[in-house]
């Protein structure tokens, strides 16, 4: 039997099972989601001591809270007594401590065991040793990034490096002052697709002319399938008649104070593996956080961030937010359209990438390396 050779213009994708196999997803949870820095919570969402949020990181539920000194802390959401889930709500606020609803073991906001029925009769119990299991936490861009690894990788060498590598200047992302911006809109999308399909979609623009009419009106070069993320420091330029990054090209808001002249009227996209997309435009920042829940389900939380005075004034951000909301809906529909075919016999060996998508092959190579596999 002869095999038709692959054209030199094409390179293979991952086989379909990488998007459907529960065992592959389990390995990804362990090797990626539970070993790398994972953007979990917007810091300002926890705006007072006692505020908490629970998030899924790999196979773990993690509890993020702000302690009495104003510091964000993270713990595995598991009582040290008999393993009950400590907080069952997605978010909330406690007055004094975190109490397990099963046997009333109670922990301070610093994770230390502070009370339990008959605890005074057990003077040998070390309250630090039986405190909550701590999770490494770093704050950057106004978000709490978590790492479950016993020895977390360098934050600067992984997370911050991704932004510096894309923009060509470590300070370029700081010009947007993301950590000082205010939340103008948030939308949560429940996407019935594998998380890698969402990453791959975000990385390329070969599809833009087909499914993103509003985006290509604002960024005309995207209509030619331009893969902006391949080119260090490149930002897609607004069209000649476009006044702002809005659904109809009308003016948005004033340029953020520190955004450089060369960054004006340009859109920059950054992928921070494994779960973050950062979108930079002159007057706001859009940040996506992905929460892979199963091999065929991913929740994406998208924040639109503006200058505090814009949000405080009650300004209408709908035209601004609507543009990327439509992009999100269009992209996620495409991913959901693709997911069923990943289990088809037609995709057992995978598909192909055209030259405008070849950089996705590097993503596949990175994934295989993280899973301890050799490239075929």
Q: Could you report the per-residue pLDDT of 228-250, keeping only the tens digit for each?
A: 677 888 999 999 999 999 999 99
Whether 135 maps to a domain, the answer reads yes
Question: Is the model's pLDDT at 120 over the cut of 90?
Answer: no
Whether 158 maps to a domain, the answer reads no
How many H helices and E strands in the chain? 9, 18
Q: Find the length of the chain.
A: 376
Joined together, the tokens standing for residue 159 give: 């997370």
Instruction: Determine the structural domain holding residue 45 and report its residue range.
Output: 38-140
pLDDT band at 2; cut points 50, 70, 90: very low
Q: 334 and 209 share a domain?
A: yes
pLDDT of residue 5: 53
Whether 153 maps to a domain, the answer reads no
Nearest to 153 by CA among 64, 267, 34: 34
Q: 175 and 127 share a domain?
A: no
Number of domains in the chain: 2
Q: 130 and 257 share a domain?
A: no
Q: 134 and 185 share a domain?
A: no
Whether 32 maps to a domain, the answer reads no
Q: Could you report the per-residue pLDDT of 298-315, keeping only the tens digit for each?
A: 999 999 999 999 999 999
**279: helix, strand or coil:** strand
Domain boundary among 140, 155, 187: 140
pLDDT of residue 232: 86
Confirm whether pTM is higher than 0.75.
yes
Number of Cβ within 10 Å of residue 213's Cβ equals: 12
Domain boundary among 96, 120, 140: 140
Q: 73 and 177 share a domain?
A: no
Q: 179 and 309 share a domain?
A: yes
Q: 242 and 362 share a domain?
A: yes
Q: 136 and 176 share a domain?
A: no
Q: Could you report the per-residue pLDDT of 197-232, keeping only the tens digit for each?
A: 999 999 999 999 999 999 999 999 999 887 767 788
Q: 339 and 198 share a domain?
A: yes
Q: Is 32 left (phi over 0), alpha (psi -120 to 50) or beta?
A: alpha
Average pLDDT, the chain: 95
> What CATH number is attached to the domain comprising 175?
3.90.380.10
Q: Could you report the per-residue pLDDT of 269-281, keeping only the tens digit for each?
A: 999 999 999 999 9
Average pLDDT over residues 329-357: 97
Q: Could you report the per-residue pLDDT of 152-193, keeping only the tens digit for each?
A: 999 999 999 999 999 999 899 999 999 999 999 999 999 999
Nearest to 352 by CA among 363, 361, 365: 361
Percent of the chain at pLDDT > 90 equals: 89
Whether 161 maps to a domain, the answer reads no
**367: helix, strand or coil:** helix
Q: Is the Cβ–Cβ distance between 90 and 125 less than 8 Å?
A: no
Whether 263 maps to a domain, the answer reads yes
Task: Say how far apart CA 333 and CA 335 lie, in whole Å.
Answer: 5
């Amino acid at each position: 039997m002869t095999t038709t050779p692959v054209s030199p213009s094409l390179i293979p994708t991952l086989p379909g099972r990488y998007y459907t196999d529960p065992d592959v997803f389990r390995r990804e949870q362990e090797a990626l989601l539970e070993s790398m820095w994972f953007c979990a919570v917007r810091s300002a969402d926890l705006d007072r001591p006692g505020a908490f949020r629970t998030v899924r990181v790999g196979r773990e539920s993690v509890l993020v809270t702000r302690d009495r000194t104003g510091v964000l802390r993270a713990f595995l959401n598991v009582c040290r007594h008999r393993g009950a889930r400590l907080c069952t709500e997605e978010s909330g606020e406690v007055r004094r401590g975190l109490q397990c609803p099963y046997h009333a073991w109670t922990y301070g906001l610093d994770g230390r065991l502070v009370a339990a029925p008959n605890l005074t009769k057990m003077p040998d119990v070390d309250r630090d040793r039986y405190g909550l299991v701590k999770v490494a936490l770093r704050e950057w861009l106004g978000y709490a990034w978590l790492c479950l690894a016993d020895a977390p990788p360098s934050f600067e060498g992984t997370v911050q490096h991704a932004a510096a590598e894309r923009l060509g200047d470590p300070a370029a992302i700081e010009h947007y002052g993301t950590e000082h911006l205010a939340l103008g809109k948030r939308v949560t999308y429940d996407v019935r697709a594998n998380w890698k399909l969402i990453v791959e979609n975000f990385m390329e623009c070969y599809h833009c002319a087909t499914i993103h009419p509003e985006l290509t009106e604002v960024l005309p070069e995207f209509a030619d399938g331009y893969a902006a993320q391949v080119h260090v420091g490149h930002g897609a330029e607004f069209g000649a008649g476009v006044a702002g990054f809005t659904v109809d090209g009308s003016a948005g808001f004033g340029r953020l104070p520190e955004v450089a002249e060369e960054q004006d009227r340009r859109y920059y996209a950054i992928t921070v593996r494994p779960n973050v997309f950062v979108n930079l435009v002159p007057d706001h920042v859009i940040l996506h956080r992905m929460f892979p829940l199963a091999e065929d389900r991913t929740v994406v939380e998208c924040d639109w961030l503006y200058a505090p005075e814009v949000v405080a004034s009650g300004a209408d951000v709908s035209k601004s937010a609507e543009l990327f909301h439509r992009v999100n809906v269009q992209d996620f529909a495409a991913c959901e359209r693709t997911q069923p075919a990943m289990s088809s016999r037609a995709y057992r060996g995978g598909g192909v990438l055209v030259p405008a998508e070849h950089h996705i092959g590097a993503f596949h190579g990175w994934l295989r390396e993280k899973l301890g596999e050799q490239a075929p």
